[in-house]
């Protein structure tokens, strides 16, 4: 197995760790997870730990693609697993943050529904021998989601210091880009989808 694929698997293995840290019942085990105050903004140690792991996982997303292209190690396994790893990482955290009330549930549902539809489009297209690759909007969506998650984990710092709700804007921006890119996928495979309608 080549290095890019190992990095993708490593990213997937970090996801259960992130989930465990976020949902672990600390109070039940009498574990006091400290919270810090920065210029009037609270930040928990739990979120700091998750943030560090999430940044490492997100960096492997960039690194595995870079190494695969640079060393000509693009494989079918990598093309299959890499987008799955991205969605598992991002969607797992978005679901947890929505459950905690940190981001709107409706936004998260719309993004997950979009991912499900796009996966269906890709499967249908591949069965016809057509590859529907990720467009620029899909890449913008992923980066926007990752930046949103980072800011939510940071409790909107540093923008919270000046009262700017950047996380609120970014979550809805991510949702909009997600839906528009989903429509773009549909348009590119419309003939295949509607051919037997």
Of 101-110, 112-121, 181-190, give the lowest mean pLDDT range: 181-190
Q: Is the pLDDT of residue 134 over 80?
A: no
What is the average per-residue pLDDT within 164-169?
A: 94
What is the average per-residue pLDDT within 57-73?
A: 85
Q: What is the pLDDT of residue 17?
A: 96
Burial of 60-72, coded b for 16+ CB within 10 Å and e otherwise, reads bbeebbebbeeee
What is the average per-residue pLDDT within 136-165?
A: 91
* 63 confidence band (pLDDT: 50, 70, 90): confident
Domain 3-194 carries which CATH code? 1.20.120.1760
Reduce the secondary structure of 6-59 to three states and give it as a string. Answer: HHHHHHHHHHHHHHHHHHCCCHHHCCCCCEEEECCEEEEHHHHHHHHHHHHHHH
184: exposed, middle or buried (Cβ count in 10 Å: 0-12, 13-18, 19+)? middle
pTM listed for this prediction: 0.89
**Residue spans per domain, the chain:** 3-194
* 84 confidence band (pLDDT: 50, 70, 90): confident
What is the average per-residue pLDDT within 95-104?
A: 95
pLDDT digit string, tens, across residues 23-34: 999 989 888 989
Q: What is the pLDDT of residue 133?
A: 61
């Amino acid at each position: 197995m080549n290095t890019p694929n190992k990095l993708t698997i490593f990213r997937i293995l970090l996801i259960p760790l992130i989930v465990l840290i976020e949902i672990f019942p600390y109070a039940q085990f009498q574990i006091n997870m400290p919270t810090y105050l920065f210029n009037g903004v609270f930040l928990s140690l739990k979120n700091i730990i998750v943030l560090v792991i999430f940044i490492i996982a997100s960096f492997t997303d960039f690194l595995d693609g870079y190494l695969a292209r640079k060393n000509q190690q693009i494989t079918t396994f990598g093309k299959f697993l890499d987008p799955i790893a991205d969605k598992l990482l991002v969607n797992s955290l978005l679901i947890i943050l929505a459950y905690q009330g940190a981001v709107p549930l409706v936004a998260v549902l719309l993004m997950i529904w979009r991912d499900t539809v796009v996966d269906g489009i890709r499967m249908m297209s591949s069965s016809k021998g057509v590859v529907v690759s990720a467009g620029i909007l899909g890449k913008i969506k992923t980066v926007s989601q990752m930046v949103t998650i980072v800011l939510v984990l940071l409790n909107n710092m540093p923008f919270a210091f000046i009262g700017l709700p950047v996380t609120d804007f970014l979550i809805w921006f991510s949702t909009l880009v997600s839906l528009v890119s989903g429509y773009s996928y549909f348009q590119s495979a419309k003939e295949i989808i509607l051919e037997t309608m």
